[in-house]
Structure 1
Amino acid sequence: MSRAFVKESEGGEAFEDLPDRPLSPHPNFVTPEGLAHIEAELDRLQEVRAEAQRTGDSAALANATRDLRYWTARRASAQEIDPPANNDEVHFGSTVVLHRSDGKKLTYRIVGEDEADPVKGTISYVSPLAQALMQKRVGDVAQAGHAEVEIVAIK
């Protein structure tokens, strides 16, 4: 019989060995804010794990332990990159204002993988758009999917 159909015991052993979250093969570049986020997440997860231990919540304990392994590894590999000294070219940490060929303006800051949230205006430095923008200057055009974007400002 498949292990998937075997009832687990009441102790919740199914939660003990959650698979690790995958780690990116790319260098873990982070902004100063990204490093602070990692450290805050580690603190938060320590509290979650302690509470799960106190209450005997094995599912929460397993999740917190797995996430602690991930964020501990991310903290250990973090390479903090200071904001660019000048805004002549697009670099890690730059905020770039783009004008799309359909007339829409977009603003993105290029950040580390764990910091990226395009809805909030941040994109990972390994994303195709960020890669297309790197080392470009105001007035340069880059391919963004099926459209072109022109760099109108670098902050």
Structure 2
Amino acid sequence: MSKAFTKETDREEDDDQQEPSLPKGIKNYMTVQGYQMLRKELEHLVKVERPEVVSVVSWAASNGDRSENGDYLYGKKRLREIDRRIRFLTKRLDIAEVINPATQPNKDQVFFGATVQYENQDGEVIEVTIVGIDEADPLNGKISWISPVAKALLKAREGDSVNLTTPSGPQELIILEVNYPEE
């Protein structure tokens, strides 16, 4: 079939992944390190990855028939993914409210950016750092400031006991230590 009778779309079924959106009315707080990390990713996409993919797509397009050209088809898909991520990062960085936890005056109380060590009711000691939504990495101890655990911990002090509501029922958490990064 002639290429004239086919429609090349910018979206494919497996290309429908959406970036996470911020809940309404929530500010996009971010630590200095988180902001720098996203900024670095954006810069890498714009200056390195995108030009490389554009080069491959351009080369593949010059080879002729695009309908069965894997380099061209994959390159176009990858280019859409990169452009989507660039738009997402640009929007998130534009609305980011960067907070330096090291300048927190109340270092004995849990606020954004604090690293908190707490004990749950099973006697397990857990350490988490409260970070922005885009920085959250629960498997590495970085939890979003809007997560249930962070909400339970916020404004508590060392030695305080806080209640965390979980699907299996309420849990008591005892704050053992609160730390902030040094300036």
TM-score (norm 1): 0.86
Q: Is the 8 A contact 2:130 2:150 kept in 1?
A: yes
Partner of residue 129, structure 1:
149
The one-character-per-residue Cα deviations of 1:75-129 (angstroms, maximum 9, x if unpaired) are: 1011110112332210000110001110100000100001111111110001111
Partner of residue 5, structure 1:
none
Unmatched 5+ stretches in structure 2:
1-5, 58-74
2:127 maps to 1:107: yes
Look up the SS of the partner of 1:101 in the other structure: coil
Task: Name the % identity.
Answer: 34
2:97 maps to 1:79: yes
Runs of 4+ displaced beyond 4 Å: 9-12, 17-20
> Which of 82, 87, 106 matches 1:64?
82
Aligned ranges for residues 116-155 of structure 1 at < 5 Å?
A: 116-144=136-164, 145=166, 146=169, 147-155=171-179
- Provide the C-alpha distance between the structure 2 equivalents of 1:10 and 1:23, rounded to a whole number of angstroms: 31
| Number of matched pairs | 147
Aligned ranges for residues 82-101 of structure 1 at < 5 Å?
A: 82-83=100-101, 84-101=104-121
Look up the SS of the partner of 2:112 in the other structure: coil
The one-character-per-residue Cα deviations of 1:5-54 (angstroms, maximum 9, x if unpaired) are: xxxx5856435x96753421321100010011110110122122222211
Q: Is the 8 A contact 1:12 1:59 kept in 2?
A: no
RMSD over aligned CA atoms reads 2.1
Per the alignment, do residues 36 and 49 of structure 1 end up closer, same or farther by CA in structure 2, a change over 3 Å counting?
same
Unmatched 5+ stretches in structure 1:
1-8
- Provide the C-alpha distance between the structure 2 equivalents of 1:61 and 1:20, rounded to a whole number of angstroms: 15
Q: Tell which deviates more after alignment, 119-128 or 138-147.
A: 138-147
| Higher share in helix | 2
- Provide the C-alpha distance between the structure 1 equivalents of 2:90 and 2:49, rounded to a whole number of angstroms: 15
Tell which structure's C-alpha radius of gyration is larger: 2
